[in-house]
Amino acid sequence: NAGVMQNPRHLVRRRGQEARLRCSPMKGHSHVYWYRQLPEEGLKFMVYLQKENIIDESGMPKERFSAEFPKEGPSILRIQQVVRGDSAAYFCASSPSQGKETQYFGPGTRLLVL
């Protein structure tokens, strides 16, 4: 029973490049959430998606950030024209359908912008 999978685990980008972070939810889970964590801080919600729909993007920066969860394949968090302040750990979580509330987290992608 595989858990939430994220790749890459570590990503290094130079300022101005694009970062693509992938998340495969647990089997049978159709709700995906993305969170960002700065060092020594708690996780901050970014976006909540179901298959092909963005449900809540209230935590997403207005520019450069986008997320998708296509019908087939993993959820993608995309950061365009990265800046040093984007350096953080990005975690994906998933929960089952039928409104179950527990979210299970992946191992995260650590993004470093040089």
Partner 1 sequence: GESVGLHLPTLSVQEGDNSIINCAYSNSASDYFIWYKQESGKGPQFIIDIRSNMDKRQGQRVTVLLNKTVKHLSLQIAATQPGDSAVYFCAEKGVSSASKIIFGSGTRLSIRP
Site residues for partner 1 per CB under 8 A = 4, 31, 33, 35, 38-45, 48, 55-56, 58-59, 91, 93, 95, 99-108
Min separation Cβ 6 and partner 1, Å: 8
Question: In Å, what is the CA distance from 1 to each residue of 33, 93, 109?
Answer: 20, 16, 21
What contacts 61, CB < 8 A, 6 or more positions away? none
- How far apart are the C-alpha atoms of 13 and 3, rounded to whole Å? 27
Angle value at C-alpha 30, between 28 and 36, nearest 5 degrees: 120
Min separation Cβ 39 and partner 1, Å: 6
Can you read off the two tokens belonging to residue 103?
């979210």
Closer residue to partner 1 in complex, CB, 13/31: 31
Closer residue to partner 1 in complex, CB, 4/79: 4
Min separation Cβ 14 and partner 1, Å: 23
Closer residue to partner 1 in complex, CB, 15/44: 44
Contact 35, 45 (CB under 8 A): yes
Closer residue to partner 1 in complex, CB, 42/63: 42
